[in-house]
Structure 1
Amino acid sequence: MTRDPEPSGFAQLADFDGARDAAMPQDRLRAIRRAAEGLRERLLDAPPVRFARSFDLLRIPYPAWFAFTGVYSQQLIKPHMVHLLARTVVVQYDDFEGRLRTLLFTPADFEAGNETPYFKRLAEQTPKFLHKAIAPVYRTVPQALASCGIAPEQVDYITYDHLHTQDLRRWLGSGATPGLLPNARLLVHRQELASVQGLMPVQAEWYCPHGLDGIPAERIVAFDGSIQLGRGLALVHTPGHTEGNHSLVYRTGDGLRVSSENGVAADSWAPLRSRHNGIRRYAQATGAEVILNGNTQESSNDQYLSMVLEKTLAGSSAAHGFSNVVPSAECTPHWLFPGAPASFLWGETSFGTPVKA
């Protein structure tokens, strides 16, 4: 069900209203699955976005016990650390009035993001000569835009599935300092925005201090629930990893793509198909149909429901059999961290042709 467009030009999606209200978790699971199936059919009837392309930004060392919660605790995964490859996605689409819009999903300012307490301590414990080897940078956000001919002035919105490690001041400006994306506004779930303003200690480990300080209020657009931005593009509230987590959903020529960091590998949404013995055996033994990325575990039940929502909404690929859910930071092999438990790698993806400046 889609409500009338909001004053912002977005449409509020009511599909999941009340789906998490039942006392019995299994009833919530059934309600979430039914709602996701209905929204999937409607979005498949929509035209695809004009252009969507992901770009590798940088690698991040990450504890395996966070990446594959449950599996590691059962000693079914051997590597102590894995590598997450963080990406940004450029999406161009038509809004409900037919105007071309450009959205950037997870544009990381990795230099400022190094102030995140967890990663700052990790960097201090690692010899400096190893920093570039352990956390190599492939490109910056401005370089990603330039490579597809899109000017910074064309970016209308930026959004993140959640605000872990993010400092937005370089993009949106702070105080008298202008931002590099002069026309962009942040789309953020209202609960995520509230969380950032009053974090518990276990949350604060993963948020960049002062990442929103001095950003003009008019550059931040908070939304509730789930919203559709335009033709073939939506942000769906998927709480659990954080309370205000949301997933990017966009229509391509061959189906739907969903992206978030609720999981970190294709295996996370299809553990029974995993070629990694530990992940597959864990799913067989427990009946788990998803494997959580659990560095904060603000709500494990909600995160489980959200990952089922994502995989139901995305559907599966006939080509490789895994869900069409693309981790916003993907567990990938690296010579320093061998044995990454990833059965299928998405890599950089591309659809359509960009509308250039």
Structure 2
Amino acid sequence: MHPITHFDGTRNAPGQQARVEDTRAAALDFRRHMLAGPRVRYFESFDLIKLIYPARYGLRNAYSAERLNEYLHIHNRLFVVQYDTPDGLKTLLVSPSDHERGGETPFFRRLQDTTPKFIVDRLVTRYASVPEVLARIGLRNADIDYITYDHLHTQDVRRWLGSDGQPALLPNAKLLVHRREWANAQDLSPYQRDWYCPHGVAGIDTNKVLCFDGSVMLGDGVALVHTPGHTEGNHSIVVNTDEGLWVISENGISVDAYAPQHSTLWGVAKYAKAIGTEVIINGNTLENSVDQYISMVQELTIAGPSQRDPRYPNMFPSSELTPFWLFPGTRPGFQVKHAVHGRLTRPG
């Protein structure tokens, strides 16, 4: 890992909008730097699970039908990335959610316990597990070098890395995590505890955890950029592909959240115009909404315009809002759904 220095000091200005503009300028410079460099060997997204999420969090204050409809659907995805390094080809899993265990997150556990099972079964769709995706594309569990998440909300990584004597399903994988995120996940306040899977990182061999500070380049065409706010240690995954720079994040749950003036979600464009906001934050914990706002501007600037629809940035929410007939007004103006670049290399 090599440090990225473009964003050093960009949030030090005394004024909040000055921090936005300093970060935006640095993000433009970093975008030019990434685009001038090599691309990753392979990048593809895969559906894991579709589940419900409170609209009051996902579209903070902007969704006009919240009184009629409390929930919306989000589509959680896994991303497989292969890239070159001086030590050879590496395979990275981005957002490998163990959704079988993630349901024990206190917020979702309460929701399941208070909702009839037949309703849960209709509102939650399980597409595949991480091991099933790997088997489908011809990767062995031992082929995975690294896993990472933009933050550790709802994540249980024990099955992947091994814990308390239990063998690791991904025996060679190491977790890439921002140092602040790793520290906070083990010492949570009650409000944060509600969104972290109980014991999700307990008993993991620390030799399997690689903590980093700031922002880092992992190798050719892939970077982890510190984007605090949603959590202190939140980071975004930037991947250089033939479709431009994809920026993977859950700071916003929809590409509409990064271009609200064009949104077709009920009330979002009107709300954005009324208060003059550039983005709509995903605010379930509100650790630092000022920093999260800056981070979303940082992300959309790095991403640049989408080749699919240049009105929207090339963002790829790790849990993307998807329309559902039972939830009116939740059809976004733009959805990514799926992306693929390059060709998978099967080691060995």
The bucket for the TM-score relative to the shorter chain is: over 0.9
Aligned to 1:137: 126
Aligned to 1:32: 23
Q: CA RMSD in A?
A: 1.4
Aligned to 1:6: none
Provide the C-alpha distance between the structure 1 equivalents of 2:176 and 2:87, rounded to a whole number of angstroms: 20
Q: Which amino acid aligns with 1:52?
A: F
- Please report how far the alpha carbon of residue 76 of structure 1 lies from its aligned counterpart in structure 2 after TM superposition: 7.6
Write the deviation string for residues 29-48 of structure 1: whole angstroms up to 9, x where unpaired: 11100110010001001111
Counterpart check, 1:84 vs 2:104: no
Alignment of 1:1-357 (within 5 A): 10-72=1-63, 79-95=69-85, 97=86, 99-321=88-310, 322-357=312-347
Q: What's the secondary structure of 1:206's corresponding residue?
A: coil
Contact 1:150–1:354 (CA under 8 A) maintained in structure 2 = no
Provide the C-alpha distance between the structure 1 equivalents of 2:92 and 2:301, rounded to a whole number of angstroms: 24
Provide the C-alpha distance between the structure 2 equivalents of 1:342 and 1:79, rounded to a whole number of angstroms: 16
- Please report how far the alpha carbon of residue 59 of structure 1 lies from its aligned counterpart in structure 2 after TM superposition: 1.1
Q: What's the secondary structure of 2:115's corresponding residue?
A: coil
Contact 1:123–1:131 (CA under 8 A) maintained in structure 2 = yes
Aligned to 1:7: none
Provide the C-alpha distance between the structure 1 equivalents of 2:323 and 2:89, rounded to a whole number of angstroms: 37
Provide the C-alpha distance between the structure 2 equivalents of 1:130 and 1:276, rounded to a whole number of angstroms: 24
Provide the C-alpha distance between the structure 1 equivalents of 2:87 and 2:145, rounded to a whole number of angstroms: 14
Contact 2:56–2:66 (CA under 8 A) maintained in structure 1 = no
Provide the C-alpha distance between the structure 2 equivalents of 1:304 and 1:131, rounded to a whole number of angstroms: 32
Q: Which amino acid aligns with 1:216?
A: D
Write the deviation string for residues 69-94 of structure 1: whole angstroms up to 9, x where unpaired: 1213x668853210111001000000
Contact 2:52–2:72 (CA under 8 A) maintained in structure 1 = yes
Q: What's the secondary structure of 1:171's corresponding residue?
A: helix
- Please report how far the alpha carbon of residue 147 of structure 1 lies from its aligned counterpart in structure 2 after TM superposition: 1.8
Consecutive unaligned residues of structure 2, counting only runs of 5 or more, are: none
Contact 2:65–2:266 (CA under 8 A) maintained in structure 1 = no
Q: Which amino acid aligns with 2:2?
A: A
Contact 1:71–1:77 (CA under 8 A) maintained in structure 2 = no
Contact 1:67–1:295 (CA under 8 A) maintained in structure 2 = yes
Write the deviation string for residues 299-346 of structure 1: whole angstroms up to 9, x where unpaired: 010000000000000001243121001100001012443431411111
Q: What's the secondary structure of 1:218's corresponding residue?
A: helix
Provide the C-alpha distance between the structure 2 equivalents of 1:355 and 1:285, rounded to a whole number of angstroms: 49
Q: What's the secondary structure of 1:221's corresponding residue?
A: strand
Summarize the Cα distance change of 1:335–1:75 in structure 2 as closer, same or farther, 3 Å threshold.
closer
Provide the C-alpha distance between the structure 1 equivalents of 2:82 and 2:307, rounded to a whole number of angstroms: 26
**TM-score normalized by structure 1?**
0.94
Provide the C-alpha distance between the structure 2 equivalents of 1:318 and 1:355, rounded to a whole number of angstroms: 26
- Please report how far the alpha carbon of residue 276 of structure 1 lies from its aligned counterpart in structure 2 after TM superposition: 3.2
**TM-score normalized by structure 2?**
0.96
Q: Which amino acid aligns with 2:5?
A: A
- Please report how far the alpha carbon of residue 246 of structure 1 lies from its aligned counterpart in structure 2 after TM superposition: 0.3
Write the deviation string for residues 42-79 of structure 1: whole angstroms up to 9, x where unpaired: 1001111000011010012111010111213x668853
Contact 2:55–2:66 (CA under 8 A) maintained in structure 1 = no
Q: What's the secondary structure of 1:34's corresponding residue?
A: helix
- Please report how far the alpha carbon of residue 197 of structure 1 lies from its aligned counterpart in structure 2 after TM superposition: 1.4
Contact 1:84–1:330 (CA under 8 A) maintained in structure 2 = yes
Provide the C-alpha distance between the structure 2 equivalents of 1:130 and 1:275, rounded to a whole number of angstroms: 27
Q: What's the secondary structure of 2:108's corresponding residue?
A: helix
- Please report how far the alpha carbon of residue 217 of structure 1 lies from its aligned counterpart in structure 2 after TM superposition: 0.8
Provide the C-alpha distance between the structure 1 equivalents of 2:129 and 2:313, rounded to a whole number of angstroms: 28
Provide the C-alpha distance between the structure 2 equivalents of 1:52 and 1:337, rounded to a whole number of angstroms: 32
Summarize the Cα distance change of 1:67–1:77 in structure 2 as closer, same or farther, 3 Å threshold.
farther
Contact 1:67–1:264 (CA under 8 A) maintained in structure 2 = yes
